[in-house]
Amino acid sequence: MAIAHPPFIGSEQATVEAALMVSTPSPSRPPVILTQDELKKVAAYKAVEFVESGMILGLGTGSTAKHAVERIGELLKQGILKNIIGIPTSKMTHEQALSLGIPLSDLDTHPVVDLAIDGADEVDPYMNLVKGRGGSLLREKMIEGACKKFIVIVDESKLVKHLGGSGLAMPVEIVPFCWKFTAQKLKLLFKDAGCVAMLRTFSETGEPFVTDNGNYIIDLYFKKDIGDLKAASDAILRLTGVVEHGMFLGMATTLIVAGELGVTMKNK
């Protein structure tokens, strides 16, 4: 996806940093087209502006969050940030953070997190989220549920009228034992919404995708709005065999969106 953006010149980093400020294109300076990944980086850089030295940080997972983790590593190396401790939401982020020299810990040692920064797969008008298409929803929810402030960073393609509205997956992490039984229960739970429940697999081998916690993921696809999200959440979690779902309801405190008009920010 490419979206028109106000004009910026210079290196890639300078482009992203300049993109944090909105300017008006002129006939002599036509708009530069930023890719979806560049928009993600713009949002990520803006979120990192909220990071202060001495913070305990929840480090998100995925294509957007990786830019924030990278930026935090850069600022630590430059000495702009000091005494940061990161708590990664996945093995992938753990490895990235270590490679950048970010000191790491866990919730057992630091049960209260100052700030978490992460992306989202969908965001509705009330800042409810769908997360977990990368497979890290359980650890993300544990860490981001323990933070004082949770900043969500997205490009504008992730904005939806209602959760499930993109037509893409709403993930549910389940135990592998009798997964077909659990998948059928999930499908029946949302039959009025035209739900399709599919085991997430690797396209190359057909083998089940296994989370960092040793579980499977059932991806739910909806043809209609599922209605009351709190009721849907409670119903999913009551099913034996379900570990967690990808709806993050009422958790985000700040939303940062990068789009064709620049960067917008919304607080809860």
Residues 29 and 155 in one domain: yes
Range of the domain at 224: 170-243
> Do 39 and 85 lie in a common domain?
yes
Contact residues for 98 (Cβ-Cβ < 8 A; gap 6+): 104
Catalytic residue among 140, 144, 173, 244: 140
Statement to judge: residues 228 and 255 lie in one domain: no
Q: Which helix (H) or strand (E) holds 183?
A: helix 179-189
SS3 state of residue 176: coil
- On whether both 8 and 118 belong to a single domain, the answer is yes
Same domain, 47 and 145: yes
Tens digits of residue pLDDT in 192-222: 999 999 999 999 999 999 999 999 999 999 9
Whether residue 244 lies in the annotated active site? no
Residue 221 shares a structural domain with residue 257? no
**pLDDT tens for each residue of 12-66:** 454 455 454 443 445 555 566 778 888 899 999 999 999 999 999 999 999 999 9
pTM as predicted: 0.87
Q: According to the model, what pLDDT value does residue 2 have?
A: 35
> Does residue 268 have a pLDDT over 90?
no
Do 99 and 6 lie in one domain? The reply is yes
CATH number of the domain residue 79 falls in? 3.40.50.1360
Residues 129, 252: contact at Cβ < 8 Å? yes
Does one domain contain both 62 and 122?
yes
